[in-house]
Structure 1
Amino acid sequence: MTALEAPAPLPREAMTARQLARRTRLLEAVVEIVTEVGPQALQMREVAERSGVALGTAYKYFRSREQLLAAALAEWQQPLWARMSSVSRSPGADTGELVSAYLRRALRSFQRNPNMGALMVLMQTSTDPDVVETLAEMGTQSSALMEQMLVGLPAEAVPHVGRGLEAVLMNSVTALVTGRATLDEALERVEGVARLLLAGANAS
Structure 2
Amino acid sequence: MMPVTSGAELPMSTESMTAGQLGRRRRLADAVIEMLEQTEPDRIKMKDVSQRSEVALGTLYRYFPAKQQLLAAAMQEWNNRLLHKLDTERAAPRVADGATVCERVLALHRREMRAYQRGPHFARLEIELYSSTDEYVIETLDQRAAANRAALFDLMDGVPPELARVASLAIGGTMLTALALWTSGRISFAEALRNVEDVIRLVLPEE
| TM-score of Structure 1 vs Structure 2, range by shorter chain | 0.7 to 0.9
The alignment status of 1:125 with 2:131, answered yes or no, reads yes
- Structure 1 residue 35: deviation in Å? 2.8
Quote the Cα distance in structure 2 between the aligned partners of 1:195 and 1:21: 43
CA RMSD after TM alignment: 2.4
2:143 to 137, 141, 156: 137
What is the letter of the counterpart of residue 63 of structure 1?
P
What is the letter of the counterpart of residue 164 of structure 2?
V
1:100 to 100, 103, 106: 106
Quote the Cα distance in structure 2 between the aligned partners of 1:149 and 1:78: 17
How many residues are paired up? Answer: 199
Q: Residue 53 of structure 1 aligns with which residue?
A: 55
CA contact (8 A) 1:67 1:131 kept: yes
Quote the Cα distance in structure 1 between the aligned partners of 2:99 and 2:21: 39
- Structure 1 residue 85: deviation in Å? 3.9
- Structure 1 residue 103: deviation in Å? 1.2
CA contact (8 A) 1:176 1:183 kept: yes
Greater Cα shift, 179-188 or 48-57? 179-188
Greater Cα shift, 77-86 or 123-132? 77-86
Unpaired runs of 5+ in structure 2? Answer: none
Q: Residue 71 of structure 1 aligns with which residue?
A: 73
User: Which of the pair is proportionally richer in helix?
Assistant: 1
Larger RCO, structures 1/2 (Cα 8 Å, 6+ apart): 2
Specify the SS of the correspondent of 1:188: helix
2:160 to 154, 157, 167: 154
CA offsets 1:168-193 (integer angstroms, 9 cap, x no match): 11111112222222222122111111
- Structure 1 residue 93: deviation in Å? 5.4
1:114 to 115, 120, 131: 120
CA contact (8 A) 1:110 1:177 kept: no
Q: Residue 191 of structure 1 aligns with which residue?
A: 197
TM-score, length-scaled by structure 2: 0.86
Q: Residue 10 of structure 1 aligns with which residue?
A: 12
- Structure 1 residue 4: deviation in Å? 4.3
CA offsets 1:83-115 (integer angstroms, 9 cap, x no match): 344537997553222211121111111111111
- Structure 1 residue 160: deviation in Å? 0.8
Greater Cα shift, 69-78 or 28-37? 28-37
- Structure 1 residue 165: deviation in Å? 0.8
CA offsets 1:130-169 (integer angstroms, 9 cap, x no match): 2111111111112211211111211221111111111111
Quote the Cα distance in structure 2 between the aligned partners of 1:114 and 1:174: 11
TM-score, length-scaled by structure 1: 0.87
